Chains A and B, each alone.
Chain A
């Protein structure tokens, strides 16, 4: 599903943000990417999102080679990905329903499909009763659920989560992680960048540790090691 072959990314002179990274992720896997600030985790996510281009190496995601991908193709490629961020990035002037429906409008889904699919996915993230609420009326955990609903509403192959629990208390973080696990169990490949040691250690998933741009460990049922 995801292949990185000797991938490097530098922003300028000095140490590259990602340094000769090699990685293979199978369809349906759940992978944590951990490491200190500046270890290259976010750069890695940005490379996968095709927000950045690698300096060298090869990235293949869901059968698509990212190097040399035409600008026009990028939008279509991103439809295979769902993405959530630490700061939720919801549209504050629209209610929950519209925030999720927005993702479907963007990819040209007909209204009748949107009307059916949005309540369905809100049900999945446990927000069925709050579809009329605005982001500011929701707790952090609820906002992240909306963001998750938006990320999966188009049934992406891969879900990328960049510090999804960074702004949440431990209990809410656990709930969000549980939700990510459920999404993963329904067949979506999930990559989670996180600092949350307790959660990583309790979930017993594959853990990739990065340090100074290098993937220093890759373990099945791994733990969060301080580098």
Chain B
């Protein structure tokens, strides 16, 4: 392609947008809404994921022993576990300690109810190690290893919290995918509509171009470019808005729920945008291109 042809295509593409200004604006707004929601869901899913990961790392594996295992035997197991590189720390809790803790948690001040057990500690057999990991991906490997050790009765992966977060994440993902797909379809439809209005307005011109011997590509290029420009603007606007919203929301959450400070770490906006910007722009331009491509294919057959 010659530079003059590229220049011509660019000029015509922009001219088209100016000519159906209202339609172009409508397309841009729909696209912007679509990308905006995408950005929101993207941020939520990413943050929940990170949180889930963090929780996984914070929640320990519990190792329980067979009845009658002596303290020495338990210590030996503890030593072996401590030697594993993926283990960050281990804590020992005797059966008595476990019972004390449970009494506090379940009966609180109602000591009478707890007294019913007298010295008959129901958790006498619950001496355990809590194993914290520095690399959660090795969890199942570690669990398998601990199970092979002598005197180990049971190994509990306390993954409940992680699982809950995981399922929240899944629901958010499904909902967001559904909403985004619907919005994308609307965006494609609106862009397609805008382009077909543009084609109708320029029908005479296109007819003349065809008689003169313009290739399909030459006729289509300005319309495809128009679609891509609409998509690009439609993706750019929400990215800018989201950038400021994100930081504000993070600050708001921290001030409103100061408990979360230190517990919940939001991913910094810069890190989110490293992925979000290219994905959103590609999405916007892609939708613009698809919308205009479908339309030009349909209407520009001569």
Contact = CB atoms under 8 A, between A and B. Distances in A.
Interface of A: 49, 51, 71-72, 75-79, 81, 83, 89, 91, 102-103, 105-108, 110-111, 150, 154
A91 B211 contact: no
B84 to A, nearest CB: 66
B4 A89 contact: no
Interface stretch (B171-179, B186-194, B202-210): B202-210
Contacts of A150: 212
Contact of B213 (A51, A71, A76, A110): A76
Interface centre among A91, A103, A106 (most CB of B within 10 A): A106
Interface string B6-38: 001000000000000000000000000000000
B5 interface: yes
Given A89-B207, A91-B205, A75 B214 contact: yes
Nearest to A111: B4
Interface of B: 1-2, 4-5, 8, 204-205, 207-216, 218, 302
Given A72-B216, A91-B205, A105 B211 contact: no
A89 B212 contact: no
Given A105-B4, A110-B2, A75 B204 contact: no
Given A105-B5, A107-B212, 8 more contacts: A51-B302, A76-B215, A89-B207, A89-B208, A102-B208, A106-B209, A106-B218, A108-B5
Contacts of B205: 91
Nearest to A51: B302
A49 B215 contact: no
Contacts of A102: 208-209, 212
- Nearest first, the 10 closest Cβ-Cβ pairs linking A and B are A79-B213, A78-B213, A106-B214, A75-B215, A111-B4, A106-B212, A103-B212, A75-B213, A83-B211, A106-B209
24 contacts: A51-B302, A71-B216, A72-B216, A75-B210, A75-B214, A75-B215, A76-B213, A78-B210, A79-B213, A89-B207, A91-B205, A102-B208, A102-B212, A103-B212, A105-B4, A106-B209, A106-B218, A107-B213, A107-B214, A108-B1, A108-B2, A108-B5, A108-B218, A154-B212
B147 to A, nearest CB: 68
A102 B208 CA distance: 10
A91 B5 contact: no
Contacts of B4: 105, 110-111
A111 B1 CA distance: 13
Contacts of B215: 72, 75-76
Contacts of A111: 4
Contacts of B8: 105
A78 B210 CA distance: 8
A78 B211 contact: yes
Contacts of A91: 204-205, 208
A71 B5 CA distance: 22
B216 A106 contact: no
Given A105-B8, A108-B2, A110-B2, A75 B208 contact: no
A154 B209 CA distance: 13
A56 to B, nearest CB: 23
Contacts of A103: 212
B301 to A, nearest CB: 8
Contacts of B214: 75, 106-107
A105 B208 CA distance: 13
Contacts of A72: 215-216
A150 to B, nearest CB: 8
Contacts of A51: 302
Nearest to A71: B216
A89 B213 contact: no
A188 to B, nearest CB: 16
B212 to A, nearest CB: 5
Contacts of A81: 213
B204 A89 contact: yes
A160 B45 CA distance: 64
A98 to B, nearest CB: 11
Nearest to A76: B213
